[in-house]
Chain A
Amino acid sequence: MALATITLLESCNNDDDVMAPEQMATCDDNIMNGDETGVDCGGSCNPCETMGMNPDFTGTFVQVDFMGRPGINTVLSADGATKDAHNVALPSEMVAMFQTAFEARLEQYHDVYAAKLGLDPADVNYENNILGLDAVTVTTVLAADVLQVAPDLPTTYFNPGTDFDNDGRILVPDGDEVALTGRMLSDDIIDVSLILLFGGAEGDRFSGQDVDMDGTPDLPRLTSDGVGLTADILTDFPYIGDPE
Chain B
Amino acid sequence: MKKTTKYAIGFSILLMATLVFIAADHIDAPGSMATTADIADYFAFEPTEDSDNTTFIVDLQSNVLPDLAYGTFDEDVLTEINIDLDGDLIEDAVIQAIPRNDIMYFFGPAAPSQTGLSGTVLVNSPLGSVAISGATAVTETTDSGVKLFAGPRQDPFFFDFFQFNAVIDPAIDSAPGGFLPPSEATDTFDGANTMTIAVELPNSLLGTPTATNALGLTVYNTWITTNRKQ
| Distance in angstroms between the alpha carbons of A150 and B209 in the assembled complex | 9
4 further interface pairs, Cβ-Cβ under 8 Å (given A155-B46, A182-B45, A238-B147): A61-B78, A61-B119, A228-B182, A237-B198
Q: A64 touching B32 by the CB < 8 A rule?
A: yes
A217 to nearest B CB, angstroms? 6
A184 to nearest B CB, angstroms? 5
A80 lies within 8 A of chain B by Cβ = yes
Given contacts A49-B129, A64-B32, contact A88 B152 (CB under 8 A): no
Q: B129 touching A230 by the CB < 8 A rule?
A: no
Q: A242 touching B187 by the CB < 8 A rule?
A: no
Given contacts A57-B98, A68-B223, A243-B193, contact A153 B217 (CB under 8 A): yes
B177 lies within 8 A of chain A by Cβ = yes
A30 to nearest B CB, angstroms? 22
Most buried by B among A53, A231, A232: A231
B209 to nearest A CB, angstroms? 7
Partner of A183 from the list B44, B211, B221 (CB cut-off 8 Å) is: B44
B-side contacts of A73, CB under 8 Å: 25, 28-29
Interface residues of B (CB under 8 A from A): 1-2, 17, 20-25, 28-32, 35, 37-39, 41-47, 49, 52, 54-55, 57, 77-78, 84, 88-90, 98, 100-101, 103, 105, 116-121, 123, 126, 129, 135-137, 139, 147, 149, 152-160, 163-164, 167-168, 170, 172, 174-182, 184-187, 189-193, 196, 198, 200, 203, 206, 209, 211, 213-215, 217-230
B-side contacts of A60, CB under 8 Å: 118-120, 229-230
B117 to nearest A CB, angstroms? 5
**Which of A3-11, A17-25, A32-40, A140-148 participates in binding chain B?**
A140-148
Question: Which residue in chain B gives the minimum CB-CB distance to A219?
Answer: B178
Partner of B45 from the list A47, A58, A184, A242 (CB cut-off 8 Å) is: A184
A-side contacts of B153, CB under 8 Å: 238, 240-243
Q: B139 touching A57 by the CB < 8 A rule?
A: no
Partner of B225 from the list A66, A178, A184 (CB cut-off 8 Å) is: A66
Q: List 11 A-B contacts (CB under 8 A).
A: A58-B120, A61-B120, A62-B117, A64-B31, A64-B37, A65-B225, A74-B20, A87-B31, A153-B46, A226-B180, A237-B139
Q: A233 touching B156 by the CB < 8 A rule?
A: yes
Question: Which residue in chain A gives the minimum CB-CB distance to B203?
Answer: A151
Most buried by B among A153, A155, A240, A243: A243
B154 to nearest A CB, angstroms? 4
Q: A87 touching B223 by the CB < 8 A rule?
A: no
Given contacts A70-B25, A87-B28, A151-B54, contact A217 B196 (CB under 8 A): no
A168 lies within 8 A of chain B by Cβ = no
Q: A70 touching B41 by the CB < 8 A rule?
A: yes
B44 to nearest A CB, angstroms? 4
A59 lies within 8 A of chain B by Cβ = yes
A174 to nearest B CB, angstroms? 12
A-side contacts of B225, CB under 8 Å: 63-67
Q: A57 touching B147 by the CB < 8 A rule?
A: no
Q: A71 touching B193 by the CB < 8 A rule?
A: no
| Distance in angstroms between the alpha carbons of A54 and B230 in the assembled complex | 21
Partner of A230 from the list B55, B118, B187 (CB cut-off 8 Å) is: B187
Question: Which residue in chain A gives the minimum CB-CB distance to B138?
Answer: A238
| Distance in angstroms between the alpha carbons of A159 and B152 in the assembled complex | 29
Given contacts A112-B168, A231-B158, A244-B1, contact A237 B47 (CB under 8 A): yes
Partner of A131 from the list B182, B209, B214 (CB cut-off 8 Å) is: B214
Most buried by B among A49, A59, A61, A155: A61
| Distance in angstroms between the alpha carbons of A146 and B178 in the assembled complex | 29
Given contacts A49-B129, A60-B119, A92-B89, contact A231 B155 (CB under 8 A): yes
Partner of B217 from the list A62, A115, A181 (CB cut-off 8 Å) is: A181
A126 lies within 8 A of chain B by Cβ = no
Partner of B24 from the list A56, A57, A70 (CB cut-off 8 Å) is: A70
Q: B163 touching A243 by the CB < 8 A rule?
A: no
B-side contacts of A183, CB under 8 Å: 42-45
